[in-house]
Structure 1
Amino acid sequence: MMEEEEQVEGWIEEEESAKEMLERVLRTRPFLLVPPLHRIPLRLGNVVEVVGPSPSAKTQILIQAAVSCILPKEWNGVNYGGLEHLVIFFDLDCRFDILRLSQSLKRRILEANGLRANPNSDEGDADAFNCNPKKETQVEQDKELFAACMRRFLYVRCYDSSEFLAALKTLHYQHQKQRDTHGVDVDLLMIDSIGAFYWIDRASTSLAVMSNDRKSRSFQSVVESIVQEIRKLLLMHPMLVLATKAASLGDKYSINEAKRNSRKWSSENVLDLRTVKSGPQTLPYREYMPSIWQSFVTHRVLIRASDEDSKHHNCPTYLSEWLLPSLDLQDKFIVTDAGVYTIS
C-alpha cells in the first residue's frame, strides 16, 4: 500500500518549475530570423542549407542571423529584439571577416537606441559608439552590451575535413562548458561553406588509391562522419543548423543540354545536376555533396544576385527562392551592416 502511495505521489509531483516549463516551451517555438529565412517557420533541429554562387551574400545572411541571436531581447529598458543565446560559427573557407560582425552588431545597437552610425567614421574602431552625441554613461553601457554579445559568438576556423570532424566531436563538451559560463544554450550552429574541402578531399582520395593507402578516407565517408556527429549533437543539444554552400549557376544550358550533362555527371558519379525554376528561365546548379548530406538537409533556399543591373540605396540586390520546401515566390532583398531588408 505504501509503495502504491509513493508511486502516485511521484507521478503527481512536479518535475519542473513553471519558469522551466515556459523556457522549454518557448525554445520549441519557430525562429523569427532575418530575410530571406523568414518565409519558413524554422525550429531547433532543422538543418537549413543556403545555396548560391559567390558572391551572393550568403555569409552576410549568417552574420545578420547571428547578430539577432546574440543580442538580448531587452537590456536596460531598450528593446533589441534578440534571442540572447549562443552561436557557434564554423569558418571552413577561412574568409570570415570578424569586423563585419562587429560593424553589424554596433549598428544594430545604435539603431535600437534611436541613433545612426556616422558613415564617415571608422566602424572597425573600438570607439565607434562615440560617433553619436550621447552621455558617457550611455556610451559605456553600449560598449558593455557589445562585449557581452561578442562573448556569445563562438568562432571556430578549420583548415581541412579532419579538423572540422575533430571539432565536431568536441562540441558536446564545449556546449556544456559555454552553457555553464554564460547560463544560456547554443541556439544556432553555423557552417560557412560546407563544401569548402570538396576538391581537396577528392584529390586526397585519388592519391590514396594510386598509392594503395587504405588508411585514407573517401569524401563520401568523411561527409557521413560529419553528418553522424551533427546528428548526435542535435539529439543531446537541439539547435538550428545553418549551412552555406557555393553553387555554380548558369542559364546558358538548354533543357536538352542539361539532361545530357545530368546523365553524364551521374554516370561518372561526380556531380548531379539540379534544375531550379526562376521565372521563365531554368537555372541548373551542380550538386556535389553526397546524398547523405542532401537527405540530412531539411530546408534549402537558393540565393543569387539579381539579374537586373540595379542597386537599391547603393546596395546590390539579391533574389531568394525556397527549394525545400518549394515555394512559388521570390524575395528581393538587400544586405547592409544594419540588417537584411526585403524590397519586394
Structure 2
Amino acid sequence: MGPQSWIVGDESAKEVLDRVFMERPFLLLPPLHRVPLRVGNVVELVGPSPSAKTQILIQAAISCILPKEWNGVQYGGLDHPVMFIDLDCRFDILRLSEMLKHRIMEATGSMKKRGGELKNAEKSISDRTRKPDIAFDEKLFIFCINRFLYVRCSNSFEFLATLKLLHHRLWKEKETHGNSVHLLMIDSIGAFHWVDRASTFLPLRDNDRCRKSLFLQGVSEAVVQEIKKLLRVHPMLIIATKSTILGDRYSSTSSEVKWNFMKHNFQDTSDTRNVTRNKLQLLHREYMPSVWQSFVTHRILVQPSDDHFATSNHQNHSLHVLEWLLPSLSFLDKFIVTDSGVSVVS
C-alpha cells in the first residue's frame, strides 16, 4: 500500500461533520438532564403506575419535535421527528396537545406561568393577543404534531411486526420531514410480559404444529435484535418505560405493609435526598429477561410520594422522586407534574 492510498479517507469532510454532529449528546429537559445521552443509548424509566413515566416521555418528545427557531422565536428544540410505540394502549393525545400548546405559548411570550387551567389561559390570551400571533402558534402546533409518529400495538406479535416494518417507515418519514427520527419511545416495554410468560405453557393446536411455541426469552431476544438492526441504519436514542413490581424479592408481607414502608421513606421531603439507594432498590424487583436487562444502558427509577409541593399560586401538586440507577448517582431529584409539564423542584 502506497502512502497516497493510505492517506485517502473513506468519507468526505461533510460526512465526517454529519456523523460527529449526529453523535452529539442529547440536551433533554429536566428530569432527564443529569446524564448526557447519545444516539444508541437505551434508557429505561422504571416505576410503579402511576409515577409520571409517560409524562416524562411526552415532555422529552415535545423537546425533540419543537424547532430550534421559528420566525425569530427561540424554542430550543432538537428539530427532529419522534416515533412513539404505545404498548399499553393508554396514551392520551390530548395531554400531548396540552403540553405542546403550553411550551409554544410560553416561548412566544403569549402565556405567563400562572398555573391555571389551559382553557382559562387560552381565553385570556385570545383577549390580549393579536390574531396573526394566534394563527402563527397554530401553524407551529400543526407542524410539531405532524412530527409525532404514533403506533399502537396490542400484543407481542404486533410489536415485532412493527419493529420489522419500522426500517422502511423511518426512511419514508425522513423523506417527508427532511430530518431523520432521533428519538424512539416505547411506552410500557413489559406490557405483554405476563401474557407471553403464560403462553409458554399453553400447548399448540394440531394445525399450529409447524409454528414455534411463543416463549418469553425468544420474544425478548427478537425485540432486542430488531432494535439493534434499526440502530445500525437509523441512529436513535431509545427511551422505554416499564411498570415495576414493588417490594422485597424475598418478602411475604402484604401490599399494605409495603405501601406503609414507602410512606415511611418519603414522609419528610427534607430527607428525601438522604434516602439510601439500597432502600429504593428494595422496592424495585426486576422481572424482564436478562437479554433486555443487558441491552439497557441507562436506568432511572421513578416513584411517587405522599408529599405535596405548593406552587406560587397556592396549588398543591403531588411530589415524585427520581433516581439514576445506571449510572448510579448519589442524589435524588424531586419533581411535580403541572399543566405545562414536568418541573424539577429540587
TM-score, length-scaled by structure 1: 0.83
Q: What is the aligned counterpart of 2:97 among 96, 99, 102?
A: 102
Matches of 2:212 and 2:11, distance apart in 1:
53
Give the drift of 1:286. 1.9
Alignment check: 8 A CA contact 2:27 2:36 kept = yes
- RMSD value over aligned CA atoms? 2.9
Give the drift of 1:21. 4.7
Give the drift of 1:249. 1.9
Aligned to 2:290: 291
4+ aligned runs moved over 6 Å, structure 1: 209-212
Alignment check: 8 A CA contact 2:181 2:236 kept = yes
Aligned to 1:235: 232
Matches of 2:92 and 2:151, distance apart in 1:
13
Alignment check: 8 A CA contact 1:61 1:335 kept = no
Matches of 1:292 and 1:132, distance apart in 2:
56
Matches of 1:122 and 1:10, distance apart in 2:
63
Give the drift of 1:139. 1.1
Give the drift of 1:25. 2.2
**Please, which runs of 5 or more residues in structure 2 have no aligned partner?**
253-273
Aligned to 2:59: 64
Aligned to 1:182: 177
Matches within 5 A, 1:1-344: 11=8, 15-17=12-14, 21-116=16-111, 119-122=116-119, 131=126, 133-208=128-203, 215-250=212-247, 253=248, 258-259=249-250, 278-279=275-276, 281-282=279-280, 283-306=282-305, 308-313=306-311, 314-344=316-346
> Compared with structure 1, are the counterparts of its residues 310 and 75 closer, same or farther at alpha carbon in structure 2 (3 Å cutoff)?
same
Q: Over residues 180-207 of structure 1, what are the superposed CA-to-partner deviations in whole Å (9 max), with x where a residue is unaligned?
A: 1110011100000000011211222221
Give the drift of 1:16. 4.3
For 1:59, what is the secondary structure of its paired residue? Answer: helix
For 2:160, what is the secondary structure of its paired residue? Answer: helix
Give the drift of 1:41. 0.7
> Compared with structure 1, are the counterparts of its residues 287 and 210 closer, same or farther at alpha carbon in structure 2 (3 Å cutoff)?
farther
Matches of 1:128 and 1:222, distance apart in 2:
50
Match for 1:246: what amino acid? Answer: S
Count of residues in correspondence between the two structures: 315
Matches of 1:27 and 1:132, distance apart in 2:
43
Match for 1:284: what amino acid? Answer: L
Alignment check: 8 A CA contact 1:333 1:340 kept = yes
Match for 1:296: what amino acid? Answer: F
Give the drift of 1:29. 1.1
**Please, which runs of 5 or more residues in structure 1 have no aligned partner?**
262-276
> Compared with structure 1, are the counterparts of its residues 341 and 120 closer, same or farther at alpha carbon in structure 2 (3 Å cutoff)?
closer
Match for 2:242: what amino acid? Answer: K
Matches of 1:141 and 1:32, distance apart in 2:
26
Give the drift of 1:312. 3.4
For 1:24, what is the secondary structure of its paired residue? Answer: helix
TM-score, length-scaled by structure 2: 0.83
Give the drift of 1:121. 4.9
Aligned to 1:272: none
Q: Over residues 214-253 of structure 1, what are the superposed CA-to-partner deviations in whole Å (9 max), with x where a residue is unaligned?
A: 6322011011000000000001111000000001223xx5
Give the drift of 1:210. 9.5
> Compared with structure 1, are the counterparts of its residues 21 and 335 closer, same or farther at alpha carbon in structure 2 (3 Å cutoff)?
farther
Match for 1:217: what amino acid? Answer: L
> Compared with structure 1, are the counterparts of its residues 13 and 173 closer, same or farther at alpha carbon in structure 2 (3 Å cutoff)?
closer
Give the drift of 1:141. 1.0
Matches of 1:209 and 1:327, distance apart in 2:
47
Give the drift of 1:9. 12
Identity %: 57
> Compared with structure 1, are the counterparts of its residues 80 and 203 closer, same or farther at alpha carbon in structure 2 (3 Å cutoff)?
same
Matches of 1:157 and 1:167, distance apart in 2:
9
